[in-house]
Amino acid sequence: MADSSQFSVTFWGTRGSIACAGPQTVKYGGNTSCLEVMCGSKRLVFDAGSGLPMLGRKILETEGPRHTQVFLTHTHLDHIIGMPFFALFHIPGLNIPVHAGHLKPIGMSLHDVLSDMMRAPLFPVPPEIFGANVSFVDFEAGETLNPLPDIELQTAPLNHPNGACGYRVNFDGRSIAYITDTEHYPDRIDERVAALVADADILIYDATYTDEEYERFVGFGHSTWQEAVKLSDAAGVKQLVLFHHDPSHTDDMMDAIAADAEAARPGTIVAREGMTLSP
């Protein structure tokens, strides 16, 4: 029987932009964004990058078919590329809502965006091939959601091209915040993000670049590990986890970033595929 107080996050994909599996990225992983958050026996999936198919296989092998909810930060390709290959989508009788909070304000729908991705000549079959009852739910970033009893999701818009949505999962008196694909402001802390992550037990944050690298990528919609430290200190975050690693960053580079971040804010860690954390 599952522990009703279990609250954890497991990383199934930690990279940004494009998958980069290979001998130089084994330690931290090469798949793109996908998180599994367990709230007791209830599962929430955040983002559907190339790590999502592995999660689907794990669920079927260890638990069998399960109703699941998916929440997307946004629909850039690295965050949705795993969706057609998620095993649970292909099992009749399962109910799997997929949520997105960045499209409604610009007059677009999640169903239309995913249909465009899974359309010839880009993909051989459309979303209608899914055997499960996959529903597409558009909300507006800033809303508070209650996807399941005793689980609260607070959300906020992020500073990213075409929009993105940050999440905070509140469960059993604890919190996990997921803020990826957001660009910091050069002269101030993003107040919306700071409010969303205030006093969070765990903050998973977009640290694609170092401050030195960032100068070449202003406007790309990403942040740095140094800015993650500033935000965490300002917002009273307990545990900072660096995420959305640049695909050019090898394990050796990530080791160096991990050491620098630990020195700057003791307890800071770098997300690795397969890692599970609990507040």
| DSSP per-residue letters across 115-163 | HHHTSTTT-SS-GGG--SEEEEEE--BTBEEEEETTEEEEEEEES-TT-
The Cα–Cα gap between 142 and 192 comes to 9
What's this model's pTM, rounded to 2 decimal places? 0.97
The pLDDT of 210-230, averaged and rounded, is 97
What is the sign of the dihedral through the CA atoms of 94, 169, 221 and 52?
negative
Query: Average model confidence (pLDDT) for the chain?
Result: 97
Instruction: Identify any residues that bridge with 79 across adjacent strands, giving them in sequence order.
Output: none
Whether 148 has a pLDDT exceeding 60, the answer reads: yes
The Cα–Cα gap between 160 and 155 comes to 15
User: What does R_g of the chain's alpha carbons equal in angstroms?
Assistant: 18
Q: Position 36: which residue type?
A: E
pLDDT digits (tens, 9 = 90+) for 35-68: 999 999 999 999 999 999 999 999 999 999 999 9
In the prediction, which pLDDT does 1 show?
Answer: 43
Distances from the Cα of 32 to the Cα of 53, 97, 156, 235, angstroms: 11, 21, 22, 27
The dihedral formed by the CA atoms of 88, 276, 101 and 160, expressed in degrees to the nearest 10: -120
The verdict on whether omega for the bond into residue 105 sits within 30 degrees of 0, i.e. cis, is no
The Cα–Cα gap between 227 and 239 comes to 15
Element (H, E) at 20: none
Residue with tokens 């057609």: 84
What is the percent of the chain where pLDDT is above 90?
97
Whether 4 has a pLDDT exceeding 80, the answer reads: no
Place 5 in a pLDDT band, splitting at 50, 70 and 90: confident
The Cα–Cα gap between 271 and 258 comes to 10
Angle of CA points 90, 153, 29, to nearest 5°: 60
The Cα–Cα gap between 262 and 256 comes to 10
pLDDT digits (tens, 9 = 90+) for 86-119: 999 999 999 999 999 999 999 999 999 999 999 9
The Cα–Cα gap between 132 and 152 comes to 25
Full set of structural domains in the chain with CATH: 7-277 (3.60.15.10)
Side-chain-facing half-sphere of 108: CA atoms under 13 Å: 15
Helices within the chain (DSSP H only):
52-62, 110-117, 191-197, 211-214, 225-235, 251-264
Which tokens is 49 given? 């990058």
pLDDT digits (tens, 9 = 90+) for 258-270: 999 999 999 999 9
In the prediction, which pLDDT does 2 show?
Answer: 53
Which tokens is 144 given? 């508070």
The pLDDT of 129-142, averaged and rounded, is 97
